[in-house]
Amino acid sequence: MGDVGQSTANTSNKEMTSNQDELILAQQRQIEKEISESIPLVGELEPVTSLSSEYSGDDIYLAKVNDLAAKYSSMRRTRPDGNCFFRAFTYATLERLLGNKEEFNSFYKLAENSKNVLVELGFQQFTLEDFYDTYMDVLKRLADIDNVDDARRELHTVFNEQGYSDYMVVYLRLLTSAQLQKEKDFYSCFIEGERTVADFCHQEVEPMYKDSDHIHIMAACSALNTGVRVLYMDRGTGNIVTQHDLPEGCTPTVHLLYRPSHYDILYV
């Protein structure tokens, strides 16, 4: 045992450094977490023009806020925690469906059946169950409310309860992963490097707090059978926000604002 004792006592500097790295990383995470938790998971409706206050003195952005305000009246901010696309997209999709019983019902049926699809793709059932149950539970609660305004209030409450809200996000991540894997021949063209579609899903789609890219959005749209229009606001030239419909040529029913690495919900 002498050898082992010696090597443990003789902790090298390099090992100290990697412990240190881990501590720094943990502290960084903590700070990020505190900042992001000061912002609600999904905010109240506010006018698009409220964005101006973030960019005072920044002519490029101010011109773009004006352009955006000409196209959209209001917005909801979402918490910038890496889950913003999934949270915004699910919220906006459900919020719209609440106004259309028939469409809501077919969405509900699709959701009901989705667990089987995931199990067929090789997800272990006991790891899915809680996320699926929460997803269906929320849909059911919303379906049971007759008054649209009451249902929307319930949606807002549920999406601001971390437990429910995060489980909804996980489930949409899984549905997105399933969509990517079902159509892996198509999506593999969009993945850089040597990674397979399955690897990509395990590393970039299924884990919480991982940011979304174009490919996530395409697959999520396809999974929920919903078209989305993304308005891009960045420091690029011109006074106009560029827009992109996914899938291409669709009639978008969900509108999202993208600012570098963050998505919020827009309302016409």
Which residues of this chain interact with other proteins, rule CB under 8 A? 1-4, 7-8, 10-12, 14-15, 18-19, 21-22, 25, 29, 123-124, 126-131, 134, 162-163, 166-167, 170, 174, 193-195, 199, 202-204, 206-210
Q: How many angstroms separate the Cα of 262 from the Cα of each of 42, 77, 82?
A: 13, 10, 8
Structure tokens given for 61: 């952005």
State the Cα–Cα distance between residues 255 and 192, nearest whole angstrom: 27
The rounded distance, in Å, linking the Cα atoms of 32 and 40 is: 14
Of residues 89 and 167, the one with the C-beta less far from other proteins: 167
Nearest distance in Å: CB 231, other proteins: 27
Q: What is the CA radius of gyration of the chain?
A: 21
Nearer to other proteins, 176 or 241 (CB): 176
Cis-peptide, bond into residue 247, ω within 30° of zero: yes
Nearer CB in complex with other proteins: 21/58: 21
Query: Nearest approach, Cβ of 174 to other proteins (angstroms)?
Result: 7
Nearer to other proteins, 124 or 237 (CB): 124
Residue 5 C-beta: closest distance to other proteins, Å: 8
- Nearest distance, CB of residue 14 and other proteins, angstroms: 5
> Alpha-carbon distance 28 to 188, whole Å?
33
How near is the Cβ of 194 to other proteins at its closest, in Å?
A: 7
- CA atoms of 267 and 74, how far apart (whole Å): 5
Respond yes or no: is residue 250 known to be catalytic.
no
264 is catalytic: no
Strands 228-232 and 254-259: parallel
- Paired tokens of 123: 């997800």
Catalytic residue among 3, 58, 81, 189: 81
Catalytic residue among 211, 244, 245, 262: 262
- List 58, 84, 146, 221, catalytic entry: 84
Q: Is 84 a catalytic residue?
A: yes
Query: Closer CB to other proteins, residue 153 or residue 202?
Result: 202
Provide DSSP, 124-174: -HHHHHHHHHHHHHHHHHHHT--SHHHHHHHHHHHHTSHHHHHHHHHHHHH
Neighbours of 175 (CB within 10 A): 26
**Active site (catalytic) residues:** 81, 84, 262
